[in-house]
């Protein structure tokens, strides 16, 4: 059975580039360009992984990540964002108590844009291998 991945980013070109690469690798891929639409899709379907940007219209990526971790704890999330201040604080382990970078600790992998597709594919492969969905 094909692994199912949702790509959530308001950059449609990025979504399509990643989707094409994943489809070539044999994944079943869906895309979403805003947080509210993505939340509905995640609620209605079982995904093996989500590629998530932090800056989204409708519902922010950090708020969506919080929802995912509250409602679908086993869903692997790979954060890919150009919000380098948040990513750098996370990687340097210098998040404040009220800082949005703290929620990144619940992600499977955190990457700064621009990213290489091969690095992202490797992170998705790692996230989806052996992933078992909880009912």
pLDDT per residue rounded down to tens, the chain (135 residues):
789 999 999 999 999 999 999 999 999 999 999 999 999 999 999 999 999 999 999 999 999 999 999 999 899 999 998 877 777 777 777 776 556 666 777 888 889 898 999 999 999 999 988 544 433
To which H or E segment does residue 86 belong?
helix 84-91
SS3 83: coil
Whole-angstrom Cα distance, residue 119 to residue 64?
Answer: 23
- DSSP letter at 17 equals H
């Amino acid at each position: 059975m094909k692994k199912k991945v949702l790509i959530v980013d308001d950059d449609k070109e990025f979504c399509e580039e990643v989707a094409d690469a994943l489809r070539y690798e044999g994944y079943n891929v869906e895309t979403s360009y805003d947080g509210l639409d993505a939340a509905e899709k995640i609620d209605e379907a079982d995904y093996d992984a989500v590629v998530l940007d932090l800056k989204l219209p409708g519902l922010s990526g950090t708020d969506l990540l919080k929802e995912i971790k509250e409602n679908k704890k086993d869903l692997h999330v790979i954060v890919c964002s150009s919000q380098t201040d948040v990513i750098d604080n996370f990687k340097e382990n210098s998040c404040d108590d009220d800082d949005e970078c703290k929620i990144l600790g619940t992600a499977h992998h955190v990457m700064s844009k621009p990213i290489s597709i091969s690095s992202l594919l490797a992170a998705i492969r790692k996230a989806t291998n052996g992933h078992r969905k909880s009912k």
